[in-house]
Structure 1
């Protein structure tokens, strides 16, 4: 996976900041998708910037799935719950940002995500659906276990209105669950909707 430009990727910097471990966990995630046939290893973009009224939202990765849909991916090792919830709000701000497309006589201007991630699949999927946000919790030294952090995150995310009303689909798993079973198995827990686990292809689409 090619490194993003402008990041401190030297050995000393990576060792101090945890970038190396973060990158390796993201590679493990991509491998799990590739092995299951859900997404090709070459169909990942790293650290993609998306415009919002409050500034750019940087996704850890954007992946093109085998069925033609797109998903945003966040890999969490050390983020606080407050920062994770804040990132959910940034995704919601991106979802509702004013249109950026020019439009024409036959089509109104479209939002950035519609232009880049949904526009050429609208006919197939019968409408526009904001891509799901997939959060993978990975182990990190001196941090709670991934499963513990995942459960605590769900307690906080359940009260986010647009998550609860399925306008923003947020699904989580742990890196261990993902690598052992694959994303096409019921390893994903959808925020705001109980403890049921879903396969990736079975997640409902955003309203």
Structure 2
């Protein structure tokens, strides 16, 4: 496990569920969707089938609310055998609009930590999702001034991070990524010899869950972003 961060020049932050609340809204939307389609299937079955639809559509629509809404619409048509009422489709679209228009709720301590770290490090955002939606959230968050660079990625694989580090003109050993997803924010960085710290959120999308042997882990897990400044001092 690497806990020596003396060479770090740039710190990258995931956005959703690292800087601000996000996944909670998807869980709420899934419950609303299941209620809308309760005449066709059980809630558990609807949840399972919606996730399958999201995975099928991920290469087409990418990550974010818009792709999620399109998957809900397609799932409604399929589960209802093409009999879903137009009003239900309107209600699904309204679910998506409410998600997009949510106020940005910062994770506790985020701005305090960014203010402290920005005095010593170059800070960036490296996140997945819909470009327009993520730009909107960044603008509404009030955090933009703390970041030197914003990178909204189509995916977070080793190749994506390698391109990012080349763009930033830094070595892997000089980069530290902070995020809530082991699959997207931690393991790819470890695999390219960069640094990563895991800060779990209380709920994780099924697609982002991975099993890791904690005894063999080459990264730190913190309970809160508020622990970062002391760790890096």
TM interval, shorter chain, is 0.3 to 0.5
Q: Which has the higher contact order (CA 8 A, sep 6+)?
A: 2
- How does the TM-score come out when normalised to structure 1? 0.32
- How does the TM-score come out when normalised to structure 2? 0.29
Which one has the bigger strand percentage?
A: 1
Which one has the bigger helix percentage?
A: 2
Which structure has the larger Rg?
Answer: 2
